[in-house]
Amino acid sequence: MELVCAKYLIKRGFRVEVEYTLNGVSCDIYAIKGLGTLIVEVETGFVPPEHALDPQRYLRARIASKIIRYSSYANKFCLATPPHYIMPIPRALLKPPRYRTEVEIKALKRLCDLYYKNPPVTLEEVRNARLHSIYVVDVDEASVVEVDVEVYAERGLWDISTLDVENL
């Protein structure tokens, strides 16, 4: 997936580094175009066996941690995902930072701290974290579609309590 994303960005005029180290942390893709920088983190939905009993919470925390940890290192931060996976992005991170409440900020920090403590994310990092867009990466077709975060959320979020499970 990283190589498909890298090709997509190179075709759009970016200089691209794959598995780039920033401040001791490795990001999947670091891209530069003019004076702008972009980080892309790939999220496939893989859950390690030790989190088989808490997969949704683990994935929400991992996605939140990626957004919070990496978004401050570039002008833009994107997540890349295959078309068959809908990422459980915490709703507060779908909003621009200025619209997050202190309650949401503290809840995101607690979520990240459940799994990622070395080092823990700071409230300031949570407060300023920003997700700019989603790249849907079809490896079979070697294609990338950039999707607005709000559009991705509208199409990907649904409430299981509204399903008529008797008639599925």
* Total count of domains within the chain: 1
User: Is 167 inside a domain boundary?
Assistant: no
pLDDT tier at 154 (50, 70, 90 boundaries)?
confident
Which of 75, 7, 18 shows the shortest CA–CA distance to 41?
Answer: 18
63-109 pLDDT, tens per residue?
Answer: 999 999 999 999 999 999 999 999 999 999 999 999 999 999 999 99
pLDDT for residue 25: 85
Element (H, E) at 133: strand 133-138
User: Is 165 inside a domain boundary?
Assistant: no
Which of 61, 78, 58, 101 shows the shortest CA–CA distance to 149?
Answer: 78
pLDDT for residue 118: 83
Q: What's the CATH code of the domain at 78?
A: 3.40.1350
User: Is 168 inside a domain boundary?
Assistant: no
Model pTM?
Answer: 0.90
CA distance 117 to 101: 23
User: Is 105 inside a domain boundary?
Assistant: yes
Q: Are 105 and 158 in contact (CB under 8 A)?
A: no
User: Is 164 inside a domain boundary?
Assistant: no
Parent domain of 22: 2-157
User: Is 163 inside a domain boundary?
Assistant: no
